[in-house]
Every structure is written in C-alpha cells, then in structure tokens.
Amino acid sequence: MSADQRTHEKISAQLCGRAVELGAGHAKVVLDASQEMAADGRGLIHGGFTFGLADYAAMLAVNEPTVVLANATAKFLAPVVVGDRLEAEATVEQTDGKKRSVKVTVRRAGAPVMEGEFLAVVPDGHILDVARSRPRA
C-alpha cells in the first residue's frame, strides 16, 4: 500500500475485508468468505457481505476521514460461497465538490461477481456531528 489509510480504521477485516492496495482515488480490498457469512446449509454467502466489501473499497478509494455512503447501485453477477476469496477494486471516477462517484468491481478468481456505482460524500465533520446540528423535520 502506498497511501496511509485515513478512514474506516476500526472496520472488521473478517467481515468487510482488508486493504491490499491504497492510492490516490484507488483501492483494492480482499475478503475471504467464511462460514459465519453463510445464508444456508449449502454455503451461499449473503449478498450483504459482498456489498459490504464493495462499500469498504469505495470508502478507501476516497480515503477522507469523514467520507460516508450516500447512494449505491449494485448488480450481482454470480453467487459467492464459503471459501471464496473476493477482491474488490474501487476507483474514483468523478469529483464534484464534496461528492465522489466511485466504480467498484468485486471479483472471484478474476471473474466479476458484483459491479457497483457508489456515491460518496465528504462532509465537513463527522456525520454524527453533522446530523445532530440539523433541525429535525
């Protein structure tokens, strides 16, 4: 990894993956699908874990301390099972003020299993502080 990780420092590597590459506007994260992620007796991994991996990779590609996910679209292309090693590659494709558009592809053995478009936002402060300062409707 060439850049220092500046966001999501306390995330679980067992649930969301571990960064293996980190650079300006780019990240790669690896996750080993474990039995705890299985949704059934055949070892099918719940898609939420694949999505979590992709989300984490997107946040690392932005790599700002306060980055949060605002919107996402995901296309699941193939099932994932216990024992699969997944690699998510994320690239910031556009910056517009505080907004970052990030493309993520999750692969197993080089073949895509999920593709996503993520809209990340970099607020001026921690989202919990920003949310408390806004009046409630």
CATH number at residue 55: 3.10.129.10
31 found inside a domain: yes
**Which residue range(s) make up the domain with 49?**
13-133
116 found inside a domain: yes
Record the tokens describing residue 89, joined without a space.
């590659």
Return d(Cα 118, Cα 28) in angstroms, integer.
15
Domain count, the chain: 1
5 found inside a domain: no
103 found inside a domain: yes
75 found inside a domain: yes
In 3D space, the residue among 118, 120, 45, 46 whose CA is nearest the CA of residue 84 turns out to be 45
Return d(Cα 117, Cα 125) in angstroms, integer.
24
51 found inside a domain: yes
**pTM, whole model, 2 decimals?**
0.94
User: Where is pLDDT greater, at 129 or 131?
Assistant: 129
Record the tokens describing residue 6, joined without a space.
């500046």
33 found inside a domain: yes
pLDDT, one tens digit per residue, over 25-42 is 999 999 999 999 999 999
Among positive and negative, which fits the CA dihedral 65, 20, 55, 53? negative
pLDDT, one tens digit per residue, over 90-128 is 999 999 999 999 999 999 999 999 999 999 999 999 999
65 found inside a domain: yes
Cα–chain center distance at 99? 16
